[in-house]
Chains A and B, each alone.
Chain A
Amino acid sequence: MKLEMKDQPGQLVAALKPISAVGGNIIAVIHQRETSTATETLDVQIVLELPEGRLPNLLELLRAQGVSVVRIGEERLLYECTLIMIGHLMHTDLSDTVDQIDRTGSAEVTELSLVMPAIDAPSSARITIRSTTRAEMKRAIRILRAVAEQKNLLIIEPLEDA
């Protein structure tokens, strides 16, 4: 997610502390130099990863530090992983396979390309999963592996993690 704030002296430092206090992980700090207003303040964006449910807590702490958050952009699904599945995908209820991941609430299938071969031959699909955290992605892939085992599907994972 993204926090936007005015870059007044001291604000950045004041903002960073509470983030780690609530278990957040800072991914990037971006200064918006092309800010249009003629004030002396610059906009600053902090891109961070936050454990589920900690946002109100963080905002509270930030307010207490006197940091004014201008905007909160929630890019909930930060991690992406694309896998390929081979097998009798339709006969084994592809929508159930997808559901099992979506049901986690913290990871979801955002893209699916299915190639249908000749009747009765195994089909191939590319599936993209997005998740809020790395741990959730690992969990989603574990679920997919288990489903694949049970439905006798082959899962091809990427060489590198999400």
Chain B
Amino acid sequence: MRIALLGFGSVGQGIARAILAKDLDIIVTGLADSRSGTIDAGGIDLLAALARKGDGGPCGNPGVSPADVVAKAEYDVLVEVTPTNVETAEPALGHIRAALQRHKHVVTSNKGPIALAYPELRDLAEANGVLLKYEATVCGAIPLIHAMQEGLAGNTISRLYGVFNGTCNYILTRMAAEGLTYEQALAEARELGYAEADPTYDVEGIDAGVKLVILANTILDMHTTLDDVERTGITLLTPDALQLAEDLDCTIRLIGEIIPGAGVLRVSPRIVPKVHPLVVEGTLNAVTVEADLAGDLTFIGKGAGSTETASAVIGDLLYIRDRHVQGS
């Protein structure tokens, strides 16, 4: 199976390394980062591209743009792993549309286009006889979307809630364990690469909110936007508050929650008993799904990371290959 890879950062490079390390029968015929691109129908030398990136260079030629790769490369699936923009979803949205119109399947880890334009993109994919998959957009390595779409098909979901943001979970874990202030724990998370220089997107609950919107709109038949999410972040939490929770054998976690029947989408810090399965440590994610036939299920795993997120993208790719790509 041939793929074109847009974005060659943490996730893109993780995909390339997995393709190199494992016999996945995937070749990359198009590759682009923010400054360059390359197209090679015979298969791009990923090792060399990784080396160029490692040296701080571009992955390809400055004369080839991401749009060129989308429009001109010969591939079966476009893999879109460029940065998330939750306001416009661009330029990823345009690239995904263009690929679908070329009858190419699309796999993305980018939350923007899925949160903002899923119904349109799904219809476009259907009209062109191709698939659009986005497992990596929610909870990294955890195959939550696959589980809900396939394994739990036929169930009615009455509630879904959990820890959707590893950065916040790390900060809260450290505040509880060491009595750190929010600022101290955030500084530590930054040093370890768990938090961005501007952590707003994570600590204000926007990232978790976008993931709720994706689950609501693509699986739970709701029609929501980020504005529909009642949202409170963790920036005002105090070590005293964590201690007050601790006194009751509880702790505080940033919980995203969807109650489809009541139209509730909310992200807020909540008091949770320490023995609760959602109380996971460090950057882990954990989600509980309440399903009428299956009962309660809790998924725990790594919500981010180069290899872990690549795992979700590759799962989607092989799903498509096994069902839809001829002659591979």
Contact = CB atoms under 8 A, between A and B. Distances in A.
Contacts of B278: 159
A154 B231 CA distance: 12
Interface in A138-158: 154, 156-158
Contacts of A159: 161, 253, 255, 270-273, 276, 278
B252 A86 contact: no
Describe B's contact surface by its main secondary structure. Answer: mixed
Contacts of A87: 236
A84 interface: yes
Interface stretch (A56-64, A71-79, A121-129): A121-129
Given A156-B252, A158-B271, A86 B236 contact: yes
B271 A156 contact: yes
B240 A156 contact: no
Instruction: For chain A, give the interface size range.
Output: 10 to 19
A115 B243 contact: yes
B237 interface: yes
B175 to A, nearest CB: 12
Contacts of B161: 159
A122 B244 contact: no
10 contacts: A84-B241, A84-B244, A86-B241, A125-B244, A126-B247, A154-B237, A156-B237, A156-B245, A156-B268, A159-B276
B270 A158 contact: yes
Contacts, number: 60
Contacts of B7: none
Given A113-B244, A124-B244, A125-B244, A156 B238 contact: no
Q: Which 6 A-B pairs have the closest CB atoms?
A: A124-B240, A115-B240, A126-B244, A124-B241, A158-B271, A159-B270
A86 B271 contact: no
A117 B179 CA distance: 14
B294 interface: no
A82 interface: yes
A48 interface: no
Given A113-B244, A124-B240, 7 more contacts: A84-B244, A84-B245, A84-B271, A86-B237, A115-B240, A154-B237, A156-B252
A126 B273 CA distance: 15
B271 A83 contact: yes
Interface string B259-300: 000000000111111001010000000000000000000000
B238 A86 contact: yes
B240 to A, nearest CB: 4
